[in-house]
Chains A and B, each alone.
Chain A
Amino acid sequence: MTRLARNLFYTTVLVVLSSPLFIVAGVSVNEKKFMIFPPRGFSFRWFAEVFEKTKWSEPLTNSLIIAFSSSVIALTIALPIAYFLWRYRVNYAKALYAMGLMPFALPPVITALGMLFFWVELGHTGQIENIILGHSVFLVTLPMVMISLGLESIDREVIEAARTMGADDRRTFFTIILPLVRPYMVAGFAFVFVLSMNEFIISYFLGQYAVVTLPVKIFAQLRSGYSPVIASVAVMFMLLAIAVFGLIARFGDLPKLLGAWSPRE
């Protein structure tokens, strides 16, 4: 009885979590240009439009460029901080780590506003690199924490062994540490990529309508009127997320990445 109640509750929450997604997916395959559920007819024409019309394909390209570049930059910032804290435990490494946590703790509007002023002061507004740098710094926390988790799980005896056999710091880093933390770096990259694709406020403040990302385009389109393409874009976002996180779960230890205690240790 209690087990039944437990499973019932669990399923209900899952259904509630997925219901808006199902309705949007239904709306996206409507044949007519109206928003209606259950869908009437079936067609993929709104999906095709995302790639065919420049008003959608341009924001898509922008979002992809921004997501890819900011994931790379975020990793280059996160890795040295996490490595230095783990390897040397010096105070300034702790300070850097704390600084890396801050962007995530601050409300995004405040971060976005500060960054806007920064670029206004430099007279360099509405450029794609502003958004790239904004996302790299804003989302750096995730890869930093994940790489730290990965480093903590390395057995220090392995490092000692390498040392005894005559490997210097650099060699130990490239031949032992880097391969061991690579899965965590890949996961960190994927998280930044997906979250950057979906990020709205920073892109909206820094883009200044000169650089438009996909979420900003959806927002603008919502204001000017309904278009079924919005639903298909939303579905594409969900599929991207399912693909990325599904792959991480398939090839990595997802519960551990999310901080669970792993019974295999």
Chain B
Amino acid sequence: MTAETANGSESTEAVAQSGLAWQIKRHLPPGYAGLMLAIFFLVPFGIMVAISFSENIPSGLWIYSFELTHYARFFSPLFTTLLWVTIEFAFVAAIVSVAITFPFTYFLSRYRRRMQVISLVFVLCVLSLSEVIVAYSWSVMLSKPAGVSNLFVLLGFMEKTTSWSRGYWSVLIALTWFNLPLAVLIQYPNCSRLDREITEAAMTLGASPVRTFFTVVVPILQPTILTAFIILFVFTMGAFVTPTWLGRPEQWMYAVLIGDEALGRGNQPFASALAMFYLVVTTVLVLITVRLGRKTDRNLGA
């Protein structure tokens, strides 16, 4: 609130400098920014909502009208099954990646600054890699002539090289891996802000490092863990290239379906309706998670 009191004196000053021309000039830059966002983000979104209720004209066009036929199509078994597949992938990939990255990020934030910077540069590099490149890398990793199975054979864990390409596990592994760098960056700020004195106090009172981690660090950072889970869940729900390239049609997640309807079949109203439905489902799931998180918070407090 200190900022607001500081602004109190500034606004009286602003009045002194006022004058219509000056006012307009002052609001020009944010006005331009708002206009850009409105035209190129809000308007397109609005058009999509309108199209989801419109009449389909095969070959990728539409006539604006109001019908719910596209929304009614979700309740065919194909789309409900794939919705479950999408949710399952997103849920498992988010949980596994948070379970791996929370201790990782916590340890990262406890290392010396130089080590932190090097690790962060590395994590950022992995994060910035295109989904296309990640999917490609994993198809190489899981392939027979160049993949990890060669390494396992070399180390004597396996008899023969095999290929795991295309299928449930390839998609799940690649999605989880794809989440790891983002998960680290989400949890890093709060991990690094955790006061060292708290853990030191627990240790002085005789708690082992492992015990301190589970009884002190995890409960304190529980909201951070939940936030990371939610963001990763939403992020994975939108996976497009990974399921297309590493999965079979049974693993086509919702984003792939939307892309297939819009670009492959040219049914734009149905693609928009799918997008709307997917947005609603994601929002509802996020709200449920947030509510459950609050409940456990209250239980811990009591």
Please tell me if B104 contacts chain A, counting CB pairs below 8 Å: yes
A215-B132 in contact given A107-B234, A140-B37 (Cβ < 8 Å): yes
Tell me if B30 counts as interface (CB < 8 A to partner A). Answer: yes
- Is A2 a contact partner of B33 (Cβ separation < 8 A)? no
Least CB separation from B254: chain A residue? A109
**Selected contact of B30 from candidates A80, A89, A201, CB within 8 Å:** A80
A237 near B185 (CB under 8 angstroms)?
no
Please determine whether A77 and B48 come into contact, CB atoms closer than 8 angstroms: no
A-contact bits for B1-45, CB 8 A (1 contact / 0 none)? 001101100110010010000000010011011101110111111
Residues of A within 8 A of B17 (CB): 168-169
> How far is B180's CA from A215's CA once the two chains are assembled, in angstroms?
21
24 contacts across the A-B interface (CB closer than 8 A): A13-B101, A20-B138, A20-B141, A23-B147, A24-B137, A106-B45, A110-B275, A110-B278, A110-B279, A111-B44, A113-B258, A113-B275, A114-B44, A117-B48, A118-B44, A198-B132, A200-B240, A205-B263, A215-B130, A215-B132, A222-B132, A242-B125, A260-B189, A261-B193
Q: When the two chains form their complex, are residues A237 and B7 in contact, meaning their CB atoms are under 8 A apart?
A: no
- How many Å lie between the Cα of A258 and that of B181 in the bound state? 13
The residues in A between 234 and 253 inclusive whose CB is less than 8 angstroms from any CB of B are: 234, 237-238, 241-242, 245-246, 249
Hey, which bits of chain A sit against chain B, CB under 8 A?
2, 6, 9-10, 13-14, 16-21, 23-24, 26-27, 34-38, 73, 76-81, 83-84, 87-89, 92-93, 96, 99-100, 102-103, 105-111, 113-118, 120-121, 133-134, 136-137, 140, 156, 168-169, 194-195, 197-201, 204-205, 215, 218-219, 222, 230-231, 233-234, 237-238, 241-242, 245-246, 249, 254-255, 258-261
The answer to whether B282 has its CB under 8 Å from any CB of chain A is: yes
Of residues 253 through 279 on chain B, the ones whose CB sits less than 8 Å from some CB of chain A are: 255, 258-259, 262-263, 268, 271-272, 275, 278-279
- Rounded to whole Å, the gap between the CB of B190 and the closest CB of chain A is 8
Of B69-77, B105-113, B294-302, the segment with at least 4 beta carbons within 8 Å of chain A is: B105-113
| B188 lies within 8 A of A260 (CB) | yes
In the bound assembly, the distance between CA atoms of A246 and B121 in angstroms comes to 6
Q: How far is the CB of B165 from chain A (nearest CB, A)?
A: 12
Once A2-B210, A194-B128 are accepted as A-B contacts, the answer to whether A10 and B107 lie under 8 Å apart by CB is yes
